Amino acid sequence: MEKRGIALVTGASKGIGAAVASALAKDGYDIWLNYRNDHQSAEKVCKDVESFGGKCLPVSFDVSDSDAVSDTLEPLLKENTPYILVNNAGFAKDTLMALMGDQEWSSVLSVTLDGFFHVTKMVLSGMMRKRKGRIVNIASTSGQSGMPGQVNYSAAKAGLIGATKALALEVAKRNVLVNAVAPGFIETEMTKDLPTEQFMSMIPFGRFGTTREVAGAVRFLCSDRASYITGQIIAVNGGTYM
């Protein structure tokens, strides 16, 4: 398979991030696989990536820690610039706003928004210099429609959608395309404890989506077929929000 360059995927040791890393490896990309501390899961994903003939470099750092991001990525970026950046790192701490503590608010926003800022800023200058690149941010239906019990998560993902659109305008003339994918209810660790039947009435398709289906949208946005698409939010939600 022809080598196409490097894809940096954050939060890629499991779930959507792992599926995205494997999908891009199938398309010929070597993967820089970011994760925070689940070394065992990261190793499994790397083996999966390498089974498709690609190289996988595990890069462990907390995306919300600017020093950790810089210390890890700076030496790598001196040698190579990823063609693709997928900002997937994020998590939820669900509770009603009236009961939400400062840490539940700030930690969710920090990983999603500070993480987007720290990692993207590091990679973006090289993309602009080379006049090519694809950035895909993993947002959420919660950031489009809002979700009770997820004021923090909805705020973080809505902010990411706004950042996607603004950055797309800033870098379009440099041939760097910036889009977002907004998954709905997807079968991951984040949703495994949800009362599934309670949410089925909200999903016209009548089922949760799969990580492979989300990865398919990312794969499209990173392909040559999406060369005139930027600033867009692609929903993968089974019709939950239109």
Residues acting as catalytic residues:
153
What is the C-alpha separation between 123 and 81, in angstroms, rounded? 7
Joined tokens for residue 181: 């994918």
Q: Which residues sit opposite 135 in a β-bridge?
A: 85, 178
144 near 138, Cβ under 8 Å?
no
End-to-end CA distance of the chain: 38
Helix orientation angle between 211-221 and 15-26, rounded to the nearest 10 degrees: 50
What is the C-alpha separation between 74 and 238, in angstroms, rounded? 39
What is the C-alpha separation between 213 and 210, in angstroms, rounded? 5
